[in-house]
A = this chain, B = another copy of it.
Amino acid sequence: MSILVVGSVAFDTLKTPYGERKKILGGAATYFSLSASYFAKVRVVGVVGDDFTPEHEAVLTRRGIDIRGLEHASGKTFHWGGEYGENLSEAKTHFTDLNVFENFTPKIPTAYDDSRFLFLANIQPELQLDVRRKMPRVALVGGDTMNLWINIKRSELLETLKEVDILLINDGEAKLLASEHSLVLAARKILTMGPKSLVIKHGEYGATIFFNDGSHPFRAPALPIAEVHDPTGAGDTFAGGFMGYLASQPEITPAVLKQAMFYGGVMGSFTVERFGPERLMSLTREEIDERFNFFRTLTHLD
């Protein structure tokens, strides 16, 4: 079953303690779709510029990702620049050049109308809302955002959140969005803004899903990793594994949601092994299942 994702398809220029890369393939929708492609059919809505080459496209199409909704516009591809210090949990953004995303009006190919799920990956909240309104019949809307939009487009974001069923953000974003110091209090507040469930990702410490219907929260682990080379896209990758797994199941039950939390962490653990989305380009189902079993061993009592 299929997922439509809208979000940045971009270039990243980044620096971590393990090295630097200039204008490598990146973007929230890129990481999301590569990750989800191991579980479900993924369709991308976005826009790239003249500097986006056939080689870049092939990275997506080789994974069976449907990029008919990825427009080509005159101008430059979205370009993000950032840096990670020794504390790899937070990127310091140097620049976010929206470029062709600045004046982008998403057009949904008719072929995408029957998408079962929608994921509003990280991009301006108005764009997210626009796509959501163009896809009224999806069964589930997932979403992500970042501190930039929480800070500079809060009211637009709050409008968008009313239409999101499940929001996936990190600790810092949750506390910023809710103006709370406590994760649990932040979750309670965010669960009144629209989302029925909320996944808060704690970087190297895993992730927690909270529900607004009184169900107990659930915590999934992250893998203890000696050297994270590049944490870029780990969160988007988590979302892709999470939503992708959900899309692969006939019904979304509590058991399925818990498995999805594990698969999100599993996929995230691959992304951070190398720079950019490289590791996601050539995983096998076997590697994913092996990692999933390791995650179970990591957390389950005998």
Asked if B225 contacts A184 (CB within 8 A), the reply is yes
Interface size of A as a range: 35 or more
| Chain B residues near A206 (CB-CB < 8 A) | 205-206, 219
Q: Is A224 an interface residue (CB 8 A)?
A: yes
Q: Please name the residue on chain B nearest to A218 by beta carbon.
A: B298
Which among A205, A217, A255, A302 has the highest number of chain B CB atoms within 10 Å?
Answer: A205
| Chain B residues near A285 (CB-CB < 8 A) | none
Least distance between A76 CB and chain B CB atoms (Å): 35
| Chain B residues near A110 (CB-CB < 8 A) | none
With A181-B87, A183-B204, A206-B205 given, is the CB distance from A219 to B298 under 8 Å?
yes
> How many monomers of this chain does the complex have?
2
With A216-B294, A219-B221 given, is the CB distance from A227 to B301 under 8 Å?
no
Q: Is A208 an interface residue (CB 8 A)?
A: yes
| Chain B residues near A210 (CB-CB < 8 A) | 224
A217 is contacted by which of B188, B216, B298 (Cβ under 8 Å)?
Answer: B298
Asked if B226 contacts A185 (CB within 8 A), the reply is yes
Interface residues in A221-235 (C-beta closer than 8 Å to B):
221, 224-228
Q: Is A297 an interface residue (CB 8 A)?
A: yes
Q: Is A299 an interface residue (CB 8 A)?
A: yes
Interface residues in A187-226 (C-beta closer than 8 Å to B):
187-188, 202, 204-206, 208, 210, 216-221, 224-226
Closest 7 pairs between A and B when the two form their complex, measured CB to CB: A205-B205, A184-B226, A86-B181, A255-B302, A219-B221, A184-B224, A258-B301
Sampled A-B contacts (13; CB under 8 Å): A17-B181, A86-B181, A184-B225, A185-B227, A206-B219, A208-B224, A216-B294, A219-B299, A220-B299, A221-B299, A255-B301, A262-B301, A300-B301
Interface residues of A (CB under 8 A from B): 17, 86-87, 181-185, 187-188, 202, 204-206, 208, 210, 216-221, 224-228, 254-255, 258-259, 262, 294, 296-302
